[in-house]
Structures are given as C-alpha cells and as structure tokens.
Amino acid sequence: MTNGRILLLDDSDVNLTIYRAALASLPEIDVTTATNPKIALALLREAQFDVAVVDYRMPEMDGITFIREASHGGNESLLSVMLTAETDVEVRQAALDAGVADFLIKPIDRAEFAARMRNLVALARSRRQLADRAALLKEEVDRATAALRAQEIETIARLTRAAEFRDSITGLHVVRVGEICAALGRTIGLSAGECDRLMLAAPMHDIGKVATPDHILLKPGRLTPDEFEIMKRHTVAGYGILKDSTSPMLQMAAEIALSHHEKWDGTGYPHGLRRTEIPLSARLCSIADVFDALTSVRPYKHAWTIDDALAEIDALSEKQFDPDVVAVFHASIAEIVEIKRRLSDDAPAA
C-alpha cells in the first residue's frame, strides 16, 4: 500500500517547519506544505491527499473558505483539520458547518499532533477503500443487470419471432410499432425507462395469434362472423402467455396484448373498455399499429400515403383512438416518418 499523504497549509514557514518536524516520526506518511491557499487548492486538484491541516487565519483566504473550496475538488475522502486559537468558539462552529473533521489548538502538542494525524490518515484511507469497494460492487451489479436485461430482450425478440412465423405479412411491422410507441411516449413526456419498455413490449401485441387456427389466421379473404370471433381471442391468448411474468416489460406486453383492440368509444374487444379504462400503453400501440398497417404494402392493398393515413386517424379520433393520443401522434409525425424510412420493409439488411 502507498504511503498516506498530508497537506499542511499555513502562511507561516516557521509553523510549517514545526508541523513537519512533528510528523517526522511517521515514515509511512508523505507530507506536502503550502503557504498559499490557492497553491494548496491546485495541489489538491493534481493529487489525492488523505488529510489537509489548515490554519484558520491566513491573509488571502481563511481556513473555512479553503475547506469549502477543497470539498469541490474531487478529494471526496479528504479529511480537514482546522488549527485555531483556544478562544475561537464561533470559528469552530463555522468550521464544523463547513465539514471540518477535527480541531487542533495552537500551539500544537507534537506528540498529540502526530498521533491524530496517524489516526486521521488511517480513517481517510479506510473511507476511500470502502468507497472504492462500493464503486466496484456497483459496477458488478450494473454488469449483472445489463446481462439480465440482454437476456430479457433476447427472450422478447424470440417470442416476437414466434408470432411472425405464423403471420407472413409481419415483416418489420412489429419493430416499427415498438419504435413508434416509444416516439409517442417521448412526446408525452414518459421516462426513458417507460419508453424503452414500450419499444420492446409493443412488438408482442399480436403474440396471441400463435393460438389462432391456421385456416383463420392465413385465410386470404374476409373472415366470417364466427371466424372473426375466434380471431378476436388472440388478445386474451396473448395476455395469458405474458401475464404471469415478474418482468415489468413483459407485464406491459401482456397489458398491450390484451387491450390494443379496445376502442375509445367502447366498441372494441375483448372487454369493451372505454376511454381511460384502456391502458395508455394499449392506446399508443393501437394507433401505431393502425398507422403502420395503413402505410405498408399488404397482399390485399397498396400502401397509403402519410397524408391519407393521418386523415383516417383523424376520422377515427374519439371513436377508435384517444383524441389526446391523436394530437400527440401529429406532434410526433416527423420522427414517425423517419422510423418508417429507417425500418422500411424494402431496406437492405444491416
């Protein structure tokens, strides 16, 4: 282990000589002296010290001001000791408020001075070791959290791909829906974490289609009323697949899977929810899903223009869509168009 380091600050060379001599019995401690507070502050910025011994009465900057300035320099584990006269009661109180760790009365007792410095250096170094250990533990926790998150994201991606295998028209649709939901969330003012969850959860909105029979899911023409009733069950099936996870991301995905076909006026399915009974995540996914489907090529239709799709969304405001979300959609349209360009089904693979 390297030696402890003490900075002695006093405008008197004589006093500094006395303090240094008192510490001569501590070979495990390196001593640096300064007569000018500004030079001492520069020394603290350049190197890490364990203890700073500071005289209160100095012409350019008093000791309390120095201690306050020193606390901003990156020496978080630095312990400050104030040298005062025995009668300076008010100074002591102010020094305590500034964060001083100890006091010494002038003139110093050399044996006491050396003993206190040894103890304070040991304390400062212990504090720094604890701080370093805490930082190391945090780094390890962050790494472990990132690894778990990567595994969670991979699980979600694979679940989404499972739905895509049964729906040949999906392409990058589900990815765009997630990105559009995140863009809407940012415009609303949701936290970065919430937007991140939206981006990863929304692509699973149709995961329940894995439970839909092929003759219905892959039927090229219009579904019969009975077939449509069976198709509608994919919302409940998706919820059943996702609902019991402890992951906040998968919990949101379950919420979206269940409610993304609910409508603002209560005519949606599976539960006929109205207005804000519908979770916000599902209201965002609903509009993102419809817009991307309208503006994408399907075997049965051409892609609509952005303007035509926006006109349709406006026509469905207060019927299918939350009018506030429609307004947010318009406010986010530049970012949404860029998402469509970046994640076009015709774009070459990265």
pLDDT, averaged across the chain: 87
pLDDT at 287 over 70: yes
pLDDT at 125: 82
pLDDT per position as a tens digit, 4-46? 889 999 988 999 999 999 998 888 889 999 999 999 999 988 8
- What pLDDT sits at residue 75? 66
pLDDT of the residue at 160: 67
Could you confirm whether domain 4-137 is CATH 3.90.1150.10?
no
Pick from 200-209, 253-262, 269-278: least confident: 200-209
Determine the pLDDT at residue 348: 47
pTM: 0.60
Judge whether residue 282 has pLDDT over 50.
Answer: yes
Q: Which CATH superfamily is domain 166-342 in?
A: Hypothetical protein af1432 (1.10.3210.10)
SS3 for the chain is: CCCEEEEEECCCHHHHHHHHHHCCCCCCEEEEEECCHHHHHHHHHHCCCCEEEEECCCCCCCHHHHHHHHCCCCCCCCEEEEEECCCCHHHHHHHHHHCCCEEEECCCCHHHHHHHHHHHHHHHHHHHHHHHHHHHHHHHHHHHHHHHHHHHHHHHHHHHHHHHHCCCCCCCHHHHHHHHHHHHHHHHCCCHHHHHHHHHHHHHCCHHHHHCCHHHHCCCCCCCHHHHHHHHCHHHHHHHHHCCCCCHHHHHHHHHHHHCCCCCCCCCCCCCCCHHHCCHHHHHHHHHHHHHHHCCCECCECCCCHHHHHHHHHHCECCCECHHHHHHHHHCHHHHHHHHHHCCCCCCCC
Q: Mean pLDDT, to the nearest integer, of 202-218?
A: 88
Domain ranges of the chain: 4-137, 166-342
